[in-house]
Structure 1
């Protein structure tokens, strides 16, 4: 039907004249990664100042303070407020990302991309005011909730992956989605290097100013430069249960062969992978700030850059491995290296060992583009937005579970095994390995 309404040659020419979605993903993640470790370190600094703890200012004595109850109180408060921020954002995002993703199947990907960009910009403004005016740290939670009302980063990713599925063939889809994830990784590495050095030299406010400037550019790009990929736009209301029903029908309505069963299994696999990935990411900065590692902001910047390096190395090795292996085997290899990296983190007591763990994750992120491509091939063209909004919903649930599990488990296990949450993450990765296999 779309081809009759708009000839293929005409649609493709229009798309080539306008921007692709990768720059949007790059700018969004650059701004988020620039803010993420800075926010954690700001919380650490505020709680340290409130409790009179100065361990972060005397790194030479940090290794002798493992039993310091004030340091453990700072770690616990930082971890808990990170949990509150994530809970606020993810609970609201569960509703909005599913609603907006299915809505984009009718109204196009551009409106959702613009809304998500505005939400990210609003969150940054709130954070900036908090830092400049020394407001209560609860405003970080408010910023996350306001951002989630507009779709959050998950909504932006849903629209981005759906737009890739709109224009890619079955054979190229896995690699195209890996390119979107590579945009996430390259942005993360650059922002991590810049954020660590900038924080060290100029304090907490400047990274938020840069993030705000980037998000303004990103919003303008989404509104005026992105090439719409939905060929036939339809008039539809935003606030209606129809959009949520479209997502339920993906899993509940009859379908050929085993596609619905595979849809559920792949959704469960991506849920576990994202839970481990974001759960570990949530506590890594706290883990590195405290004893026995006692990293400063520069080392945390390097660590965050190493954490994002797999986005780039994974897409390169994915392309090479696809010549000789099926996508399923590529995902299994990625899970193996992810497992090994988590185990090394669990027992890391030196900087060299931490970076060894980061090095083992070089193939860890081939898993999600493989699963997303397989999911995309199980539904029709007109359901791509609903599918990726359901994946965004699964991602939100996974991030919620990750925050609840890892941010609660980390303070609880400080006394007997600090790296236990990473060990748990390694064990959880056996579940998607079995499901994909």
Structure 2
């Protein structure tokens, strides 16, 4: 073992622990070497600022791009949006043009998402598995540069009033660099490299809380800024934030694995590593390990598909009748949604004192289901914000699932695992965008909030799987008290 290099990548509290914890604790933290960046960050953080800045950029541009599509399509069709009486007065029959604008906006969201995420579905597992050998830092830098290039394309479209199909070009360029999912894969792999089994769930939850905090700030800023100055200036901040994230990763983030510069990026071995993981269940899996890996990955797929699929509909749902929200309210709503990342982190920390991780995940799913049911019938601003309030623990499930997946495999397999998770997450974007953006216009005529109700029903599947696996584990533990 190369103890000095291993300690160089760990936080100070984990360094002191690893020296006295014993053989079992040391096996939980992979032996790696540190590649020093040009500068040392004085704060006790590692990849958290990278994820914070990248998520800030994504959360700032996502609702703005949807609103831009709405405004451009409304302008092309001659619809005056929420200024019309059909939006301000619920007794007036819906404007046929409004329904056409909603449908076209949902479809363009679908096309843009399908284009970007379908490319990312091939690139993300390649980059994630490659980072296990070549290092994490390139996977933190390259996708941010791709997202910056996407922002440049969006700015050109807005300055020159080009057709909205050019948004698709920007998404494809971002997808070719790995998109935001590659950044997620790199950050979560980094945390798995530098944490032990006991602290991993909370460390993962801290990363997800960074997602929420940055998303909340971006949502509030984006709504107010768009109302005051339009779309172009906020997208300049999107560009600057992505460049700042890439620069921070280059200057301050230490490498968490020993990089092999001779490893080629374009190689089938990276895909084979992912396939081997799921065909064998991981080196540390015993008996039902492969089954658990597949079941937890299915739960993760369903939960994240619901998160991303329903999230894309919130802005459309709030823009149109009967809510007719403006940019400020849309920003507050998005901020309330992202605030749940922080409340979920606090709730997870508290519940872990008396509940197993699986029960924490079930509480989070119950919070999500109740919020979605309220969204499905929300026809006033107060009811919509009630739904956001009920979702205050909805992000407690995903860090538990990531941690459980990580604990099923050896430390040497973390890169392949999180490449798989990144691949599934890309598929979640793809399926969620396709399903919910298609379902929303198809169900407008009988129940506008039906997609949210449908999402709530889907969440009962992972809840049943997680609860069943936990009960089986507890029964097995009662039979064999020495089982870990």
Shift of 1:203: 0.5
Which is bigger in relative contact order (C-alpha 8 A, separation at least 6)? 1
**Which of 11-20 and 61-70 deviates more?**
11-20
Question: 1:222 and 2:254 equivalent?
Answer: no
Query: TM-score if structure 1 supplies the norm length?
Result: 0.96
Give me the whole-angstrom Cα distance separating, in 2, the residues matched to 1:232 and 1:201.
47
One of 61, 64, 74 as aligned partner of 2:101? 74
Which residue number corresponds to residue 351 of structure 1? 381
> Separation in 1 of the partners of 2:270 and 2:92?
53
Aligned to 1:160: 187
Pair 1:257–1:77, CA change in 2 (3 A): same
For 1:205, the equivalent position in structure 2 comes to: 232
- Offset, 1:231: 3.8
Match of 1:273 among 286, 294, 303: 303
Q: Which residue of 2 aligns with 1:109?
A: 136
What are the superposed Cα offsets for residues 163-203 of structure 1, whole Å, 9 maximum, x if unpaired?
00000010000000000000000000000000000001001
Partners of 1:428 and 1:141 lie apart in 2 by 29
CA contact (8 A) 2:106 2:441 kept: yes
Where does 1:22-421 land on structure 2 (aligned, <5 Å)?
22-58=48-84, 61=88, 63-64=90-91, 66-231=93-258, 233=260, 235-253=262-280, 255-421=285-451
Q: How far apart are 1:62 and its partner, in Å?
A: 5.4
Report the Cα distance in structure 2 between the residues aligned to 1:240 and 1:215, rounded to whole angstroms: 28
Kept in 2, the 8 Å contact 1:197–1:297? The answer is yes
Tell me how far apart the structure 2 counterparts of residues 149 and 390 of structure 1 sit (CA, whole Å): 17
For residues 64 and 350 of structure 1, the distance between their equivalents in structure 2, rounded to whole angstroms, comes to: 14
Query: 1:7: Cα distance to partner?
Result: 4.3
Equivalent pair of 1:63/1:294 in contact (CA under 8 Å): no
Q: Aligned to 2:341, what secondary structure does the other structure show?
A: helix
CA distance in 2, matches of 1:225, 1:10: 13
CA contact (8 A) 1:92 1:148 kept: yes
Task: After TM superposition, give the deviation of residue 9 of structure 1 in Å.
Answer: 3.4
Partner residue, 1:424: 454
> Of the two, which has the highest radius of gyration?
2
Q: Distance in 2 between matches of 1:65 and 1:390?
A: 50
Deviations 1:318-351 (A, max 9, x none): 1111011000000000000100001000000000
State the alpha-carbon separation in 2 of the partners of residues 65 and 169 from structure 1: 60
SS at match of 2:287: coil
CA distance in 2, matches of 1:41, 1:11: 43
Q: Partners of 1:263 and 1:202 in 2: how far apart?
A: 48
Question: Take 1:398 and 1:216, find their aligned partners in 2: how far apart are those partners?
Answer: 26
Residue correspondences, number: 435
Distance 1:140 1:64 in 2: 36
Distance 1:63 1:28 in 2: 39
**Is residue 7 of structure 2 the alignment partner of residue 9 of structure 1?**
yes
RMSD, aligned CA: 1.6
* Secondary structure of the structure 2 residue equivalent to 1:364: coil
CA distance in 1, matches of 2:93, 2:133: 56
Would you say the 8 A contact 2:143–2:178 is kept in 1? Answer: yes
Say which structure is richer in helix: 1
Structure 1 residue 232 displacement after superposition? 5.6
Distance 2:258 2:79 in 1: 58
Inter-partner Cα distance in structure 1 for 2:89 and 2:77 = 17
| Contact 1:289–1:295 (8 Å) recurs in 2 | yes
Verify the 8 A CA contact 1:6 1:231 in the aligned structure 2. Answer: no
